[in-house]
């Protein structure tokens, strides 16, 4: 089994990364069977964004001590391969925002959790929101 580990920059997560990659190896994400994150929800979301650019790739998130991780699993260094095989798979919906800026420049953004629009002082924003192609009023 090939695993790509991604860790928060916090010292505890970096120590865990060293231990886990020493035990299970470290594979580039594009070649891995699983991406395993070590940290909290922010680290997991970063890995999920990275995984959007690849063919379907499961991400298994583990929460380290002191990290906030409402959708992370508890951290353990042993039995990781068994946990990965036994984990329930959940498909997360991907949000898509088509942004058109003043002057006609447009871009498409993708998000897992939320899309936030910030308005500069004294500027207007005209928003149209649609879910599955249906406008919301």
Q: Are 32 and 57 in contact (CB under 8 A)?
A: yes
**38 pairs with which residues across the strands?**
7, 62
* Whether 33 is catalytic: no
User: 39 and 7 in contact (C-beta within 8 Å)?
Assistant: yes
Identified catalytic residue from 41, 65, 79, 132 = 41
Mapped onto helix, strand or coil, the DSSP state of residue 97 is strand
- Which residues are part of the catalytic machinery? 41
């Amino acid at each position: 089994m090939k695993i790509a580990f991604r860790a928060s920059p916090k010292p505890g997560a970096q120590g865990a990364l060293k231990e886990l990659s020493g035990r299970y190896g470290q594979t580039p994400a594009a070649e891995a069977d699983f991406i395993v994150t070590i940290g909290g929800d922010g680290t997991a979301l970063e890995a999920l964004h990275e995984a959007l650019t690849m063919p379907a790739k499961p991400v298994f998130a583990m929460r380290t001590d002191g990290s906030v991780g409402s959708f992370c699993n508890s951290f353990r260094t042993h039995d990781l391969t068994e946990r990965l095989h036994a984990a329930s798979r959940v498909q997360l919906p991907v949000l898509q925002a088509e942004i058109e800026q003043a002057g006609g420049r447009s871009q498409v953004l993708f998000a897992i959790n939320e899309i936030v629009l910030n308005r500069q002082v004294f500027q207007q924003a005209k928003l149209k929101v649609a879910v599955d192609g249906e406008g919301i009023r």
